[in-house]
Amino acid sequence: MAVNNVVGKDEVPGSLTVGEGVRIVGKLVVPGKAVINGSLEGELQADDLLVGPRGVLTGQVKVRTADVHGTTHDTIEATEFLCVRSSGQVHGQARYGEVEIEKGGVIRGAIAPFAGSEPAFTPEVKLPVASVTPVKPASN
């Protein structure tokens, strides 16, 4: 029996899409982009992450870039860039290279910049809890 490994025109080899209504529990290693429109509970390691508006991700996440429109719980490490969109919510510990929070986006928990030589979060490390609310720039 032949296996058809045809990639659609919008898909990138090594990527994963979890559709709306789909629930996955486990440990995933995605060499490309992980798109979460359903729910994922466990561990995720990927190059890029997109959490859709109805996506929910719970667990340990290590990515290069993260674009959060939905909700994450537990720990997220984005070594280069973390973007929390206006509909996005990050609950727990977040580490980032650079961070952007759109008006309406929420981060609840411990946040800290990421430096490649620093160790990852461990349960023994207690970081101060911070709530970040973006401020609209004053108009001239």
Summarised one tens digit per residue, pLDDT across range 25-40 is 999 999 999 999 999 9
| Of 38-42, 47-51, 70-74, 136-140, the least confident | 136-140
Does position 10 have pLDDT exceeding 90, yes or no? no
Residue 21: per-residue pLDDT = 95
The total of other beta-carbon atoms located within 10 Å of residue 61's CB is 28
Pairing assessment for the beta strands 106-113 and 130-132 based on DSSP bridges: antiparallel
Which pTM value belongs to this model? Answer: 0.75
SS3 of residue 124 by DSSP: coil
Per the structure block, which two tokens stand in for 42?
């466990």
On average, the pLDDT of the chain sits at 82
Name the more confident of 132 and 32: 32
CA gap 131, 135 in Å, rounded: 13
Percent of the chain having pLDDT more than 90? 71
Assess contact for 14 and 30: CB atoms under 8 A: yes
HSE-up of residue 37 (Cα within 13 Å, Cβ side): 6
Q: Residue 13 has what pLDDT? A: 78
